[in-house]
Amino acid sequence: MKIKSWPLAIIVLVVFFGGIALSAAFNLWKTESTKTPARIKSGEFTGENDPSDIRGSYSFADIEKAFNIPVDVLAKAFGVSYVEDLAGFKAKNLEELYGELEAENKEIGTDAVKLFVALYTGLPHTPEETTALPNPAVSILKQLGTLTEEQLGYLEKIKVDISQFKGEITPEKAETHEESEDHTIKGKTTFNDLLEWGLSKEDIEAALGMEMGERALSIRDFCKEKEIEFSSVKAELQIKVDVLE
C-alpha cells in the first residue's frame, strides 16, 4: 500500500518532534555542551572529575562547578581580578594575556589552569614542560598547607612574577572599558594619569600602602622598584577609578 506524500510528511514530523519531547522528558535532549570534564577512570581518584580534561573553552564558572574552586580564587590566582566578567573568563584567554612568555620558553595558559586545579584539589595531572604559574597562584597553593616538599620546590621553579608582565588582555568581555578615552589602568599608566582622572593622592597611597612616586612614573615601574605586586595594586586602583565614572 502506498502512502501519499502529505500524510507521510506529517508522520515524519510527529515522529521527529515526538522523539525530542520524549528525550526532553527524560533529560536526554541537550542543546548546549555541558562543559563537564571526563572522569578519572583508574586509581584512587576513580570517578572524580579529571583536571587534565579541562579545555580552553572552559570558563572560570565551569571550573568552579566542576572542581568547587571559587571564581574569585581562580581570578586572583591568574591575575585577572580586574576583568569585568570573571565568571565568563575562559582558560584560553590566558594564552593571549601571557603570550609573550613563550619567548622565555614558559607558558601560562590552559595547562596552567589544569595544574593549578590539580594541586588545589589534590587530583593528578602531569603538566607540560613549559607550563608556568603566576606568583599569586603559587601563594594560594602554598597557603593550603596540603602540598609536599617536592611540590613546593617545583612551584618555586615554575612561578612567574606577573607584576612585571607588559601584556594587555584583549578577549571578549575582558576589558573593563572601551579603548577610546577610557580610564583603564595599564602598564604604562602613570601617577599623573590617575591624578588627572580624579583620584586623590590619599586614594593612590591607600592602594599602594606607601607614599606614591613621582607623577611621571608608571604604576608598574613603581611596583617593580618597591617589589610589590602590580596586579593587586592595579585591581584596587581600578576599583577606585571606576567609582569616579
Q: What pLDDT digit, counting tens, does each position of 73-84 carry?
A: 999 999 988 888
pLDDT-based confidence at residue 190 (cuts at 50, 70, 90): confident
Q: Three-state DSSP class for 40?
A: coil
pLDDT tens for each residue of 207-233: 899 898 888 888 888 888 888 888 888
Binned at pLDDT 50, 70 and 90, residue 177 comes out as very low
Joined together, the cell numbers standing for residue 56 give: 580552553
Contacting residues for 188 by C-beta, under 8 A, at least 6 apart: 218, 220
Q: Residue 17 above 90 pLDDT?
A: no
Q: Which of 16-30, 191-205, 228-242 has the lowest mean pLDDT?
A: 16-30
Q: What pLDDT, on a 0 to 100 scale, did the predictor assign at position 29?
A: 45
Which grid coordinates belong to 69?
Answer: 574552586
Grade residue 245 by pLDDT with cuts at 50, 70 and 90: low
Burial bucket for residue 232 (CB in 10 Å: 0-12, 13-18, 19+)? middle
66 contacts 52 by C-beta, under 8 angstroms: no
Q: Where are the domains of the chain?
A: 51-164, 191-244
Q: How many residues does the chain have?
A: 245
pTM score above 0.85: no
Amino acid 169: pLDDT = 46
Predicted local distance difference test score (pLDDT) of residue 180: 36
